[in-house]
Each structure stands twice: as C-alpha cells, then as structure tokens.
Amino acid sequence: MVVSPGWLLAAVLLTLLLAPTVSRLAAVGTPAGAYVLAGTFVLMLFVSVFLHELGHALVARRQGVVVRELAVTLLGGHTQLGGAAPGPGSSALVAVAGPAVNLVLGAMSWLAAQVLDVGSVTWALVSGAALANGVVGAVNLVPALPLDGGRVLESVVWRATGERWRGTLVAGWAGRVAAAGLVAWSVLPPLLAGAVPSLARLGWAVLLGVFLWSGAGGAVAAAHHERRLGGLRLATLVRPAVVLPARSTVADLDAVPHGTEVVLADSRGTPVAVVHPPAVADVPPCQRAATPLEAVAHPLPEDAVVDRDLVGAAAVAAVAPVARRTGALAVVADGRVVGVLRVADLARALGRPSGAGPGRAGPGRA
C-alpha cells in the first residue's frame, strides 16, 4: 500500500474546504471542532478509497492476475496489476469490483444515517460517507477510460469484436469526450443563464478534465500500439544474412551481395557476432585482407537469437530481454541462421523511437 504525498496535500485542502460546510450541518460547537470533524471525514474517505482499490486487487487475484501495488494518490487511487486480465469477462469483473465496494459502503452508511439524530456529529459523518461513496461509485462507473466504467466498456467491445485494442480505443475516445464535456458543463450552463462561471467549479472541472484527458489519451495510444503489435510478423522485419566463420577477414565480404547482413559463427556454428557496416567502411582497402571481421562486428549475447516465425506479443517478449544489450539479433529457422533482426527496425514497426527498444506491454491499472 502506497500513499503519495499528493494525497496528503489533497487531504489538507479537502479538510479546509469542508470545514465551513461541516460547521453548518452539525453541532460541532467551535471552529476547531469543525476542522476536526472535516479531517475525520477525509480520513474516512481515505479508507473508502483504500477499500475501493482493495476490491480491485482481491478480484484481480481471484482472476489469476498479479497485483503489484495499491496506491492512494492526489486524485484518488489506483491498483497496479502485473498484467492484463485474461479475458473481457475477467477484466470487467476487476473493474466493477472497486465501484461496487463504494456503492455498498454508501448504501450501508445511508441506512445507518436513518436511525441517527439529524444534525449530530455522528449523523454528519455517516451522511457524508454515504454521499461520498455513492458519488465515487457512480462516477467511476461512467463508461470512459481511465475510469472503471471505461474498462467495462472496453470489455464489452472486446467481447463483441474479439479484439481488445478496439475496446480500448472506443473507451479511450469516450474518456476524451467525457473530459471535454466536464469542462463544458462547468462553463456553458452559467453562461447560457447570463451568469459568470464559478472559478472554483471551473478549477475543479479543469483539474479533473486534465486527469481524464491524460488517461484517455494514454489509452488511445496504447490501443494503437496493441493494434500494431497484433499485426507484427517477425519474418517481415528480418534482413537476409549470410554466415561466415569468425576467423574470416574483411576481404571475405567481397563475395557477399551488397545489402546482406553478415553473421559470424564459431566452430560449432553458433552465432557470435554481427558485422557492423559503418565499421567495415572505415577499413582502408590495403588493410581489408589483414583485418578480422571480429574487429568490425558487434558481439552477440548468448540469448540474442530468435525464431523467424514468431508473431505479435511473443515476438516482442523474445526480443525485449536482450534489446537493451544489443542492437541486433540473429534470426533462425529450422535451426539455422537465416537473417538478422535490427532492434531499431522492430521499434519502428511498433511506432516507437528507434532508440527506445521494442518495450513490453505495461502493467494494467484498475
């Protein structure tokens, strides 16, 4: 469980903002009592957020998904998962679990408030908990990423189309629409009524709108990445190569067709290096016969060998562990070297900067 400094700042601000309202609703006696009661309510809100994330985590584990972290942050919280849910049904269950906890807490608090004395301190706290949990649960079910309802919408489209990226794309754009609509809601009704929009209302709307837009934009980008990943075929990125003995010299390249990669192999046929063309070009003609190819080649780590027939996520998973240690991998088919895969080529195919490597699908958040 992680509590970010941002949430502590939010707790202080909420306490200051709620204290005047609390003093009007409950008989607290003194201004200090109002702040104490407001702070107590904020702590209850903290517990509600924690239970919300705990609901996500427990259901995720039941669905076989690793939970890495529970965090309470400036704008709420998140549950960091070690991977995506195995199917649309599981993803929807994990997403719904958090808001469901809030709605249950809200209902229980509302029922408890019915038997308490209106205006008492206890009534104010319980009523506030009912309202806060009800609002948090309902808002989180709005079908727009990065809200939990967006994951449900994603799952519905995923189930209907068989492609998760389509669901993520739809829910991500829904999040962008929700963000724009939230800001518009804070401005247009007052303007249409001939009034000046409240700066406080506009400020909160912009803050939440930026949060929604940022999360939705990340979802849209992830959807495009996943679409490219699904269509990835390693065989289409492989550069043809010939294999030469490690003891060969630069002069032996004269027999190699222009544009063909060269892989060096040891006496057992194991690929040990890939020739670096710019380094070859720097060798003076008079030195080509005396310069070993090993001097102008990049060594290959032992695990820098991949199968040509890998596709999609399996291809990226095979390359990712060695992508930071080498710029090229030997590609094999039926046990023999048939080409070279340049990590930069794979990065471009996935729409990433050439120096960033292919990366991996990031952990999920609920």
Between 9-23, 113-127, 260-274, the lowest mean confidence (pLDDT) is in 9-23
Q: Confidence band (pLDDT; 50, 70, 90) for 30?
A: low
Domain edges within the chain: 2-230, 234-349
Q: Confidence band (pLDDT; 50, 70, 90) for 213?
A: very high
And the tokens for 158? 């995923």
Task: Tell me which amino acid residue 145 is.
Answer: L
Average pLDDT, whole number, for the chain?
86
Q: Confidence band (pLDDT; 50, 70, 90) for 98?
A: very high
Does the global pTM surpass 0.85? no
Close Cβ partners of 93 (under 8 Å, ≥ 6 residues apart): 59, 63, 85
Is the pLDDT reported for residue 75 higher than 50?
Answer: yes
DSSP 102-122: HHHHHHHHHHHHTTSPTTSHH
Is the pLDDT reported for residue 116 higher than 80?
Answer: yes
CATH superfamily of 234-349: CBS-domain (3.10.580.10)
Overall average pLDDT of the 264-282 stretch: 93
Q: Confidence band (pLDDT; 50, 70, 90) for 355?
A: very low
Q: For 214-262, what is each residue's pLDDT tens digit?
A: 999 999 998 988 888 888 899 999 999 999 999 999 999 999 998 899 9
Separation between Cα atoms, residue 115 and residue 123, nearest integer Å: 9
